[in-house]
Amino acid sequence: MFKEPDVFSVLQTAKYFLKSKGLLEYKFDAEALLSFLLQIKCSKLPFLYNQILSIEQLRQFERYILRRSKREPVAYITGYTGFMGFEFKVNKKVLIPRPETELLVEAVLKMAKKQTELKILDLCTGSGCIAISLAKIGEFKTITAIDIDKFALKVAKENAKINDIESINFIKSNLFTNLEENKFDIIISNPPYVSDEEYAFLEKDLMYEPKHALVAKKDGLFFYTEIAKNAKKFFNNNGHIFLELNSNKVNQIKQLFVGNNFEDIEIIKDYSGLSRILKAKILI
């Protein structure tokens, strides 16, 4: 693939190749993968343009580029991604954290400002990015993070260690099943919410991510329905819920919570102007 072994030429060839395969973020992808190979920040690449890559480095970079050309996400190739300014390990057992989900964390931090006795529950924690970010930035009495998938929990626990967090209680549970009598002030979740019909039209990159972490039964509403119906018994007085939304089903989701005694429902839009976060208060 690479005729010239210097960093500049290799980078240009990789960008051209990824562009020819229809990748829109070909510049970012090539730079991210090369900087990962060289173990430097992307911003340092221009200072190394004249550096000659070894034969093994060229072969490894070609493998990275070929994987990306088949739409495998950069985060799965490198094994890491950023979220809320922190580094998280990811693999094909967990979803890759999205920038939109940062809004979920920010909404909780904004509401919890100057309160240090709140108990947090993170449902469907996956990589643990939400719970760990809250633990890194906020001050909470307790944080509990649950997931039904033992492999996802393994990744979440590794991410807690990577980020020097020891305070999170990770529990294997199918939603509320194994929580016993615990009660919380805030429940937060980015649950699976894609319907089978929507899944068929998702971009190819998402086909590498675990389907069970994306798709939900009942036309994508299963987890919203279960959470709206069962969350009440796990709240302290004046509890709040924060959920990432399927922007195609906002009204249906909102009505699920209205019908289960939630009030002060607020819909927060994402960077693209889509309805992305539901915030609500429970009436007990």
Query: pLDDT-based confidence at 116, cuts 50/70/90?
Result: confident
Residues 264, 51: Cα–Cα separation, whole Å = 58
Both structure tokens of 236: 């302290």
Query: Beta-strand (E) ranges in 70-183?
Result: 80-83, 86-89, 119-123, 142-147, 168-172
Q: Verify that 128 and 230 share a domain, yes or no.
A: yes
Structural domain boundaries enclosing 11 = 7-70
In a domain, 124, yes or no: yes
In a domain, 77, yes or no: no
pLDDT at residue 114, rounded to an integer? 75
Q: Verify that 220 and 187 share a domain, yes or no.
A: yes
Q: Verify that 65 and 114 share a domain, yes or no.
A: no
pTM score? 0.94
Q: Verify that 63 and 105 share a domain, yes or no.
A: no
Residues 171, 148: Cα–Cα separation, whole Å = 8
Q: Verify that 43 and 122 share a domain, yes or no.
A: no
pLDDT tens digit sequence for 133-191 = 999 999 999 999 999 999 999 999 999 999 999 999 999 999 999 998 789 999 999 99
Query: pLDDT-based confidence at 224, cuts 50/70/90?
Result: very high
Give the other-Cβ count within 10 Å of 233's Cβ: 10
Judging by DSSP bridges, how do beta strands 275-282 and 262-269 pair with one another?
Answer: antiparallel
**CB–CB of 215/194 below 8 Å?**
yes
The residue-averaged pLDDT of 15-19 equals 98
Residue among 117, 127, 114 nearest 75 (CA): 127
Q: What does DSSP assign to residue 150?
A: H
Q: Verify that 18 and 114 share a domain, yes or no.
A: no
Q: Verify that 58 and 181 share a domain, yes or no.
A: no
pLDDT tens digit sequence for 182-217 = 899 999 999 999 999 999 999 999 999 999 999 999
Give the other-Cβ count within 10 Å of 182's Cβ: 14
Q: DSSP of 43-58, one letter per residue?
A: GGGGGGTTPBPPHHHH
Q: Verify that 98 and 60 share a domain, yes or no.
A: no
Q: How many domains does the chain have?
A: 2
Q: Verify that 105 and 55 share a domain, yes or no.
A: no
